[in-house]
Amino acid sequence: MKNSVRVMALLGVVALAAAGCGSKPSSSGTSSSAAAPASSAASSAPASSAAAALNACMVLDVGGVDDRSFNESAWKGMTDAKAANSAISISYVSSSSQNDYTPNLNAEVAKGCNTTIAVGGLMTDALKAVATANPTKQFAIIDSATGQPNVYGIQFNTAQGAFLGGYLAAAITKTGKVATFGGLNIPPVTIYMDGFWEGVQYYNKVKGKSVQVLGWNEKDQKAGTFANSFTDQGKGRQVSQAFIQQGADVIFPVAGGTGLGAGAAAAASGGKVSVLWVDTDGCISAPQYCPYFVSSVVKNIAKAVTTYVTGAASGSYPTGSYIGTLANDGTGLAPFHDWASKVPASVQSELDQIKQQIISGAIPITSPSQPK
């Protein structure tokens, strides 16, 4: 989705959006804090000396824990960590708006969390202030890095995965037009759109084609199509239908739950339009639209969160920052699912080759939003 202060978004992704092949995550226990606004029930370990080994907390961005995108992925990372180590106690609190960020973060500190994970780059400023005021507490943030010693940055170079998505979209379009739109014009969102745009340009270059990208041009970071929401599915459908009217037959929504509107528009097209999902494997997080999802540009937030939390529980908090790439499986393309027999074998082979060329540096990524 749905993710770095300039995040993607916060959001998620996609933001976008994380169950299909599966089901929505369930939570149990008590809410994170009665004092925190927009708090939600969350899972926690039974009270015991062992359970007190690590009290890990999470502040979600807007969209809820079942946003089919980055919030859901981040929470899965927490539940996976707890499954691996029962001594870890976990909980989350949701944010209804950006005004909730600071109160929610402070509430988590006040209730005794050993570490608090902020989901989304839009929380960067709020987390900086809270981390500065609480130097003995540990924090982490997804889609950003503050540079503070007690804040671990979890970032992803999703332009790499999206490059593959753009090449794929250009290879399968029948109209010669593909499209992308974002939730907000922030780096965690536009980094996906940049990669998608670059992938299409690369396809045009090596194939001698002229596939057009609607909604974004990496060379103009201020222009583009944005829904200004990570939750409004109606807006996502409206934007997608406008693209379809302009001739686009492959749409890449980078807008968390708003992107589900693209799935609805594709379904209404009777199979003439397909979607490239974001953040999570769309056939798992939004199975109702799996027939229309060619693939998904994934951001492996769950794995990164699990690694951080289990590391913290071992007694050694990870320091510095992590950047997910194609090389370390932090980003990439999800399986083709229903499209496995529809995407030509030659294209699938080309994607494998391009992935290795990106990893080696033979194909450079130029997005200005790449994390350093």
How do residues 189-209 score in pLDDT, each as one tens digit?
Answer: 999 999 999 999 999 999 999
Nearest 5°: the CA angle 368, 199, 16 is 70
Sign of CA dihedral 26, 151, 183, 302: negative
Q: What CA–CA distances, in Å, run from 205 to 120, 167, 178, 272, 289?
A: 35, 11, 16, 26, 32
State mean pLDDT over 103-121. 96
Judge whether residue 156 has pLDDT over 80: yes
Judge whether residue 149 has pLDDT over 90: yes
In a domain, 230, yes or no: yes
Q: What is the per-residue pLDDT for 67?
A: 81
Smallest CA-to-CA distance from 65 within 47, 42, 97 is with 42
* Better-scored residue on pLDDT, 187 or 11: 187
Smallest CA-to-CA distance from 58 within 26, 94, 82 is with 94
Read off the pLDDT of residues 227-244 as tens digits, 9 standing for 90 and up.
Answer: 999 999 999 999 999 999
How many residues are recorded in the chain? Answer: 372
Q: What is the per-residue pLDDT for 126?
A: 97
Judge whether residue 33 has pLDDT over 60: no
Q: What is the per-residue pLDDT for 11?
A: 35
Number of domains in the chain: 1
Spatial separation of the C-alpha atoms in residues 289 and 287, rounded to whole Å: 5
Confidence of residue 63 (pLDDT cuts 50, 70, 90): confident
CATH number at residue 233: 3.40.50.2300
How far is residue 363 CA from its own chain's centroid?
24
Range of the domain at 172: 158-299+329-360
Q: What is the per-residue pLDDT for 8?
A: 37
Judge whether residue 48 has pLDDT over 60: no
Residue 91 has which token pair?
């909980």
Q: What is the per-residue pLDDT for 36?
A: 34
In a domain, 51, yes or no: no
Q: Which residues pair with 31 in a beta bridge?
A: 41
Q: What is the per-residue pLDDT for 13?
A: 35
pTM for the model: 0.84
Let me know: does 57 contact 71? Beta carbons within 8 Å: no
Judge whether residue 258 has pLDDT over 60: yes
In a domain, 273, yes or no: yes
- Which residues lie closer than 8 Å to 63 by C-beta, 6 or more apart? 2, 11, 69, 71, 230, 231, 256, 257
CA dihedral of residues 64, 70, 75, 78 (deg, nearest 10): -160
